[in-house]
Amino acid sequence: MIGIYNPCLTNSLRQEEEGHIYRTLRKSECCTSILNENEESALTEYGDSLDKVSGEVLLCTKCRLCKTRQHAVPGEGLGSAKVLFVGEAPGEQEDLQGRPFVGAAGKLLTELLQSVNIRREDAYITNIVKCRPPNNRPPRKDESAACRPYLDRQVALIHPAVVCPMGNSAIQTFLDSEKSVTALHGIPFEVQSMTYFPMYHPAAALYTFGLRKTMEADFRKLRALLDSMVD
Ligand code: URA
Ligand code: SF4
């Protein structure tokens, strides 16, 4: 069984904190059992956290998108999520609400998750760039590059079993590949010991007839992949 379906992991701040301390320690090759309370809190204080990333994103002015946004959208979900979904950029609704995937594409994403019994709140959902590009144009290379460290920190902190880049922007950002989603969707592969499962962007299924069925099939494959992974 995988962690997202373990009720003990859901909404348990303490376990999330422990997970974070463990990951921080693993990097420096320590062992949690040798820590006392004070050392634990020191690590939490000086270590990185998802809240810290989100706080920095909300104040970020590292690229031009900060000038046109209403709200930055850091991402949301479970800190110990087994699966991390990464879209392209916030759209209009996301920009208004400060939350990822809350418009029409988000509604479809939530339905696709439900179709394979994954609760939205048990995943983590974010985007390549955290601020809405004007008129929903694709993010520019320099904007994606400026925003990349936030995404890398989120991946490191959540340490998911699987990262799902959705759509060409996200796929090409992660996989450094010119291949398109048409060639890559639904096939897991590994880069530097991280498993990626590329998917179509849910927005594409809103305007391409038949794509919803393909996405449903890919979500079933994702579910099987997660189930096959040992905690
Ligand atoms: N499309 C995206 O890529 N991200 C969102 O958050 C919403 C729509
Ligand atoms: Fe900062 Fe990213 Fe927003 Fe640019 S898109 S201002 S880098 S948070």
Query: What is the value of pTM for the model shown?
Result: 0.82
Helix (H, G, I), strand (E, B) or coil at 163: strand
Higher local confidence (pLDDT), 90 or 8: 90
Give the atom of ligand 1 at the shortest distance from the alpha carbon of 170.
Answer: 3
Ligand sitting nearest the alpha carbon of 167: 1
Report which of 160, 162, 165, 161 is spatially closest to residue 179, judged by C-alpha positions: 165
For residue 199, the 8-state DSSP code is B
Tell me the two tokens of residue 171. Answer: 């796929």
| Pocket probe mutation, ligand 1, options 112, 127, 135, 151, max atoms within 8 Å of Cβ | 127
Measured in angstroms, how far is the CA atom of residue 76 from the centroid of ligand 2?
16
pLDDT (tens digit per residue) in 149-191: 999 999 999 999 999 999 999 999 888 788 899 999 999 999 9
Mean pLDDT of the chain: 84
| 16 has pLDDT over 50 | no
Residue 65 Cβ contacting ligand 2 at under 6 Å:
yes
Measured in angstroms, how far is the CA atom of residue 21 from the centroid of ligand 1?
31
Measured in angstroms, how far is the CA atom of residue 77 from the centroid of ligand 2?
20
Shortest-distance Cα residue to atom 3 of ligand 2:
131
Helix (H, G, I), strand (E, B) or coil at 113: helix
Superfamily (CATH) of domain 48-228: Uracil-DNA glycosylase-like domain (3.40.470.10)
Q: Which residues line ligand 1 (CB under 6 A)?
A: 87-91, 94, 100-101, 103, 105-106, 127, 203
Quote the pLDDT of residue 171.
95
pLDDT (tens digit per residue) in 191-228: 999 999 999 999 999 999 999 999 999 999 999 999 99
Rounded to whole angstroms, the Cα distance separating 185 from 174 reads: 14
| 29 has pLDDT over 70 | no
